[in-house]
Structure 1
């Protein structure tokens, strides 16, 4: 119980304070769980981030789920997901049923400050991961090429998700050519509380729900079956997280809810901390009631967690291969490049509007560099400054 309480408290605090989207979440996680609590090391964390980038579903929530799994088994994984998701999910479902009516003007300064603070947190996380994962010119080169690949595909081709995947593949292809045979991953393996049989079961459930929920919605037409079908398919088929899920949800709910209401809810989700996938709870509550909101929330997150559980037992074995270790070193360097590319857009573009936002970001960065102030205290100070002065 003490371990579960520890996991819940850590992730609930992050669920209240992690503004800025998936990239910012990854930066916060790295600061809290790698540097402060030392639940896992930098190399293991980078491997986990890279793996989740390859899988469908909400990448940052999958990373948090895996950290909870490593720390406390399946109960710990569920506790981590619940705690990180609860704050924004409660607000979004409340908005969906009309319990809360928030005027954005009332908290504009607070949101601005929290987004600016996320800039400082992500900058420090990238610096720390870069020192650990790009220690030589070969991996610095791979990180730079990953930055160029991600930016080119995002800015020129508008293919942000494919750009991230292409950067990871590039790192994997270059590693055998640029890195020597002595390269080893410094990361300890994640503690996985079940074996391959459990992974196969999770993969089977993933495919079973994906294939049967459309049939269920057709045989038993109702709001709850339609919501489960739409949300599960969105969570199962989307790579890149919350921003990318919008088109799928918009197409799937066109006959269920008003478009203006849909866009208003999506805007509210982006102003809240925690995962953007909680928008699914808003959609479910808007077309039904609290129960359907909770069901939709569960359905949109479920496939990403099932596919992660399906892969992790096999991943733990595959990563022990010497050739795989070299490839992982290249992928880890590419992760640094991906985070660096995303640092500008959307972290800086969303977080820095004028010199006051920049000042808050620099102050948070300086506080983290000093090593004397915990990240949660810096976030609270930034929030207070934003509420008072912005």
Structure 2
């Protein structure tokens, strides 16, 4: 399989790994910031792809389920170094933050006493601010009119009355169907072209693999805990529309509800994930590691990390041969507007439960959460600084 862009110079997997390792160590700030880092490093400086091609690639990855910035990185690695380049890009961009979160998971048991308890509580509180910021930003861009705001509200009601993964799937399905009826008047897709040369048979194989795994994994999940983990994280990665923060309610339903991870450990890890560079999906490595002692924790981290990224990459390669024609269909665009509006509702429901209800229990907690939110939204403080400040604030409140 050979994938390339017209006029692009082919590189090596080692070159791709080095470029993305730099990005994996320095890309703070979430998926939108990551896309800016990619543009500066790979479009402007290294000239791996032109501006129009990059914009079209970003549009594709934002349309598909999965971690948009990681999908863009995977595609750029595919462009520059072929299949091995794609794997090199993913590994280099992902492993730095994954390793940091695995270390945090292993050290979390050492956080006892009032200071340790306060630090973990501060991480839970910063999760309130981060999710509130995500809801605020996504609502402004994805629910700008009455129709999409109503879809988001309906999604909240669906999730409230049908808890767990079933409610979330139902909300996204409802959003897509409602979008077909209510969201047909949006802007028309652009006229740029993706110039990847991925053949249609390769695309069909990847799409078939995505759906086969989605159907088969729940059946084999009963065989062992490892297969159950792979199924839970693969399914979560398959349903993430609209940004990495949306994975929070999906994963909470998959790992907290069955008792694999406590809700306190879940939210503390989610808060810690804001302080590391790279994709938010590496939160999966933390969850896999916190489930059991070493070496089980290392194996669990690897299983969860691969499983949550795999569906997005299968869909990306599968969509490349068909994207130019599909994205110009008005009905496809309308369905995605509705699905994205539903995503805002799902994340809004998660902001209340489990995030708010688990972290904010008194006026001091509320004041710390509000301070973190203002720092993020108004002062535009780097997320890692807000995380550190909230952890210190949580420890200070515990000592008081």
For the aligned pair, the TM-score class normalised by the smaller chain equals: 0.5 to 0.7
SS of equivalent residue, structure 1 residue 107: helix
**Structure 2 residue 339 is matched with structure 1 residue 331:** yes
The answer to whether the 8 A contact 1:360-1:382 is kept is yes
Q: Which runs of 5+ in 2 are unaligned?
A: 1-16, 41-50, 79-85, 240-248, 274-282
Whole-angstrom CA distance in 2 between matches of 1:182 and 1:231: 39
- Aligned match of 1:253: none
SS at match of 2:384: helix
RMSD over aligned Cα, in angstroms? 4.4
Q: Are the equivalent residues in 2 in contact too, given 1:210–1:233 (CA < 8 A)?
A: no
Q: Indicate conservation of the 8 Å contact 1:30/1:125, yes or no.
A: no
85, 101, 109: which is aligned to 2:98? 85
Matches within 5 A, 1:192-341: 199=203, 228-236=226-234, 241-246=250-255, 268=265, 270-272=267-269, 273-274=272-273, 275-276=283-284, 278-283=286-291, 286=293, 290=295, 292-316=296-320, 317=323, 318-341=326-349
C-alpha displacement of 1:133: 2.0
TM-superposed CA distance for 1:81, in Å, is: 2.9
Deviations along 1:17-38, whole A, 9 cap, x unmatched? xxxxxxxxxxx63564468988
TM-score of the aligned structures, taking structure 1 as reference length: 0.66
Q: 2:148 aligns to what? A: 142
Distance in 1 (CA, whole Å) between partners of 2:191 and 2:176 is 17
Q: Which residue of the partner structure matches residue 256 of structure 1?
A: none
* Residue 175, structure 1, aligned to residue 189, structure 2: no
Judge which range, 198-207 or 67-76, deviates more.
198-207
Q: Is the 8 A contact 2:124 2:264 kept in 1?
A: no
SS of 1:245's equivalent? helix
**Matches of 1:156 and 1:298 in 2, distance apart?**
34
Task: Using the TM superposition, name which of 164-173 and 368-377 deviates more.
Answer: 368-377
- Separation in structure 2 between the aligned mates of residue 196 and residue 65 of structure 1, nearest angstrom: 23
Query: Kindly tell me: are residues 230 and 114 of structure 1, through their superposed partners in 2, closer, same or farther at Cα, counting changes over 3 Å?
Result: closer
Whether the 8 Å contact between 1:50 and 1:332 is mirrored in structure 2 is no
**How many equivalent pairs are there?**
334
**How far apart in 1 are the matches of 2:153 and 2:193?**
27
Question: What corresponds to 1:121 in structure 2?
Answer: 130
Is 1:184–1:326's contact at 8 Å kept on the other side of the alignment? Answer: no
Distance in 1 between residues matched to 2:34 and 2:188, nearest whole Å: 22
Query: Match for residue 246 of structure 2?
Result: none
Q: Is the Cα–Cα contact under 8 Å of residues 67 and 77 in structure 1 kept in the other structure?
A: no
Q: Distance in 2 between matches of 1:191 and 1:92?
A: 42
Residue 395 of structure 2 corresponds to which residue in structure 1?
A: 387
- 1:160 corresponds, among 154, 164, 176, to 164
CA separation of 1:45 and 1:271: change in aligned 2, threshold 3 A: farther
1:184 is displaced (CA, Å) by: 3.1
Structure-to-structure mapping, 1:100-115, within 5 angstroms: 101-103=110-112, 105-115=114-124
CA distance in 1, matches of 2:354, 2:289: 24
Deviation, structure 1 residue 363? 1.5
1:362 and 1:187 map into 2 onto residues whose CA distance is 43
1:130 aligns with 2:139: yes
1:303, distance to aligned residue in structure 2 (A): 3.3
Corresponding residue number in structure 1 for 2:277:
none
